[in-house]
Amino acid sequence: MEDYSGRVLEENYPEVKDVISAKTARTMTAMLREVVLHGTGYAASKLNYPLAGKTGTTNDFTDAWFVGFSPSTTCGVWVGFDEKKSLGNKETGAQAALPIWMEFMKVAIQGHEGEEFPATPANTAVTKKAEIPTFRPNDAEAH
């Protein structure tokens, strides 16, 4: 905290500590990277930059969001109304929030060329090809 003349009155340095292991963080990053490369966040792959994230949509399309990150920047975009009101049919995270996120990230990643996410640990489920299930969810399981 500084006074009007710029004199430091107080400084606080938070304690920094890991809350998950590096392996877990790399695995989660790899999973969220797949959302951008092959999933609902695919439009962001057109930025040609290492990006990861997750779309989200509530029932009746009342809220839509995309929370994503690059190796150096994290940003979340939420779209919705103050009251519970539908955004409109098919207004998903990918349709309503992701384009806003992409516009922000186009600017945020400038000057950060060459960044890469840390490598995914070998022998994890993310590094192996996923098997396609042979069953379909029943009505009680489907959303």
pLDDT digits (tens, 9 = 90+) for 2-33: 999 999 999 988 898 999 999 999 999 999 99
CA–CA separation, 108 vs 105, rounded Å?
Answer: 5
| Cross-sheet strand order for the sheet of 74-80 | 52-57, 63-69, 74-80
The model's confidence at residue 119, banded by pLDDT at 50, 70 and 90, is confident
65 pLDDT exceeds 80? yes
Q: What is the pLDDT of residue 133?
A: 53
Nearest Cα neighbor of 104 from 37, 58, 49, 38 is 49
**How far apart are the C-alpha atoms of 121 and 119, rounded to whole Å?**
6
Sign of the torsion formed by the C-alpha atoms of 73, 79, 81 and 86:
negative
Lowest mean pLDDT among 20-29, 32-41, 113-122: 113-122
Residues 102/75, Cβ–Cβ less than 8 Å: no
Nearest CA to 56 among 34, 69, 41?
A: 41
CB atoms within 10 A of CB 115: 12
Half-sphere exposure of 129 (CA within 13 A, CB side): 2
What average pLDDT score do residues 80-90 get? 94
Contact indicator for 29, 53 with CB cutoff of 8 Å: no
Give pTM, 2 decimals: 0.74
Average pLDDT of every residue of the chain: 88
- For 137: left if phi > 0, alpha if psi spans -120 to 50, otherwise beta; the answer is beta
Mean pLDDT of 115-133: 66
> Per-residue confidence at 80, pLDDT binned at 50, 70, 90?
very high
CB contact set of 23 (below 8 Å; sequence gap of 6+): 121, 124
